[in-house]
Amino acid sequence: MHHFEYRDGALHAEDVPLSTIADTVGTPFYCYSSATLVRHYRVFAKAFEGQKALICYAVKANSNQAVIRTLAQEGAGADVVSEGELRRALAAGVPAERIVFSGVGKTRAEMAAALDAGIHQFNVESEPELDALSEVAVSKGVEAPVAMRVNPDVDPRTHEKISTGKKENKFGVPWSRARDIYARAAGLSGIRVVGVDVHIGSQLTDLGPFREAFSRVVDLVAMLRGEGHDIRRLDLGGGLGIPYEAGDAPPPHPDHYAALVRELTQPLDCEIILEPGRLIAGNAGVLVSRVIYVKEGESRRFVILDAAMNDLLRPSLYDAYHEIIPLNQPTDDQRAPVDVVGPVCETGDVFAKARPMPPLAAGDYVAILSAGAYGAVMASAYNSRPLVPEVLVRGSDYAVIRPRPSVADLIAQDRLPPWLENRA
């Protein structure tokens, strides 16, 4: 469910026609719906009502301050994967005691920052990381609350680039080593073992792999408790998928996901931590773009947009499907296959291949849907294309929540070394 729909033939974000924003902000731009963000968070939170659940929004999906704050106001915590995200979450008003820190390569400086902030939990992914965290915590005279991220070796049946829970992936500690590593962790000063963590991948569209992974984790908790570890928290990660393509079977509803979690984990009486990212932000955002040219190729027609892979990488990186629709609602069902591409000098700069699209002409606006997660955050200035602005809508209000930098800003980031100055 989202709040982007045609009204009187014009695509709206909540009560604002997207063409109004396009005319004032210019294209391309990202546009997010507050109502959709809030709705997704509430549906998810409601699904877990009655369970001791802490919902930590995975900030990497969309880390704009306005997005994080919108969710923080709803009570969301944050799952962060860098000091930058930690500081963003804190700056947006997420209390430290609702922040968990994940990621395979936390530096000592990042650990120190998180310990100073007093975060809820470190999700530790290796023995060397555990040693480093122990040292940093001891040097500060504090204890770090730790869950080890275990790799359950489960196939999440999603795109290989967003699968994280198979044994060949870099994430987590090997299942077979978990017992020994917990024993070591228990003996390390500065470390307080509080839980077990798992995250098997992203855009999962069926509950089977979750059931497999969570069942294994539940068994592990029972075993670890038997060994004397005081395991009170179970972090089950994120990964619940969203619909991208109209006509696809809908992914599991959060209610069913939550029921599965309850069924499997209730006997343990743990605090459950959940880290949804895409589910909250994915369908809460669109990328609005303008057609620059329509070009007749030898064997196909190209619709060339002013948005490109540097603005939205998912199609190039993950072969991801995104619906593309005109801001002006087509009046009939006439469709012809076209390639929708960007202007970047890369063959991979393609949003859609042989996609049946209504007639489009230069100057028309289109919206690339489901671009709220892993969109703006992955953007780069490749081809010296300034990052595109982000806009947040709430009802009939909208605000630019990250302005478009100028090309001059971009150039001003570079510095000439002394030997190149004044030699133009």
Ligand X SMILES: *Cc1c(COP(=O)(O)O)cnc(C)c1O
| Contact range with ligand X by CB under 6 A, out of 5-13, 270-278, 329-337, 346-354 | 270-278
d(CA 407, CA 387): 10
When asked if residue 28 is in the footprint of ligand X (CB under 6 A), the reply is no
Contact 295, 302 (CB under 8 A): yes
When asked if residue 275 is in the footprint of ligand X (CB under 6 A), the reply is yes
* Footprint of ligand X on 92-121 (CB under 6 A): 102
When asked if residue 129 is in the footprint of ligand X (CB under 6 A), the reply is no
Q: Is the Cβ of residue 149 or residue 355 nearer to ligand X in the bound state?
A: 149
When asked if residue 251 is in the footprint of ligand X (CB under 6 A), the reply is no
CB of 225 to ligand X, least distance (A): 24
Q: Is the Cβ of residue 235 or residue 390 nearer to ligand X in the bound state?
A: 235
When asked if residue 125 is in the footprint of ligand X (CB under 6 A), the reply is no
Q: Which residue has the tokens 């504090």?
A: 142
d(CA 360, CA 351): 15
What's the angle, vertex CA 293, arms to CA 7 and CA 409, rounded to 5? 90
Q: Is 319 left (phi over 0), alpha (psi -120 to 50) or beta?
A: left
Q: Is the Cβ of residue 251 or residue 358 nearer to ligand X in the bound state?
A: 251
CB of 320 to ligand X, least distance (A): 13
When asked if residue 279 is in the footprint of ligand X (CB under 6 A), the reply is yes
CB of 146 to ligand X, least distance (A): 15
Contact 41, 74 (CB under 8 A): yes
> How many other CB atoms are found less than 10 A from the CB of residue 101?
29
One DSSP character per residue, 331-344 reads: SS---EEEEEE-SS
* Footprint of ligand X on 39-58 (CB under 6 A): 58
Which pairing describes strands 301-305 and 285-296: parallel, antiparallel, or unpaired? antiparallel
Contact 238, 274 (CB under 8 A): yes
Q: Is 354 left (phi over 0), alpha (psi -120 to 50) or beta?
A: left
Q: Which of 370, 406, 372 is nearest to 392 (CA)?
A: 372
Q: Is the Cβ of residue 46 or residue 225 nearer to ligand X in the bound state?
A: 46
Q: Which residues are CB-neighbours of 297 under 8 A, at least 6 positions away?
A: 339
Which residue type occupies 308? A
| Contact range with ligand X by CB under 6 A, out of 46-54, 129-137, 269-277, 339-347 | 269-277
When asked if residue 152 is in the footprint of ligand X (CB under 6 A), the reply is no
| Contact range with ligand X by CB under 6 A, out of 24-32, 124-132, 235-243, 414-422 | 235-243
Q: Is the Cβ of residue 242 or residue 360 nearer to ligand X in the bound state?
A: 242
Q: Which of 124, 131, 65, 123 is nearest to 92 (CA)?
A: 65
Q: Is the Cβ of residue 82 or residue 289 nearer to ligand X in the bound state?
A: 82
d(CA 181, CA 12): 52
d(CA 83, CA 63): 13
| Contact range with ligand X by CB under 6 A, out of 84-92, 234-242, 339-347, 393-401 | 234-242
Q: Which one of 145, 190, 243, 277 is in contact with ligand X (CB under 6 A)?
A: 277
| Contact range with ligand X by CB under 6 A, out of 233-241, 283-291, 347-355, 385-393 | 233-241
270 is catalytic: no
Catalytic residue among 31, 56, 270, 345: 345
Q: Which residue has the tokens 């997420």?
A: 94
When asked if residue 276 is in the footprint of ligand X (CB under 6 A), the reply is yes
When asked if residue 199 is in the footprint of ligand X (CB under 6 A), the reply is yes
Indicate the burial class of 299 (C-beta count within 10 angstroms; 0-12, 13-18, 19 or more): exposed
When asked if residue 163 is in the footprint of ligand X (CB under 6 A), the reply is no
When asked if residue 202 is in the footprint of ligand X (CB under 6 A), the reply is yes
For ligand X, what does the binding mask look like between residues 357 and 386, x meaning CB under 6 A? ----------------x-------------
Q: Which of 179, 269, 267 is nearest to 227 (CA)?
A: 179
Residues annotated as catalytic (active site), given as ranges = 345
Chain contacts with ligand X (rule: CB under 6 A): 58, 60-61, 79, 102, 199, 202, 237-239, 275-279, 373
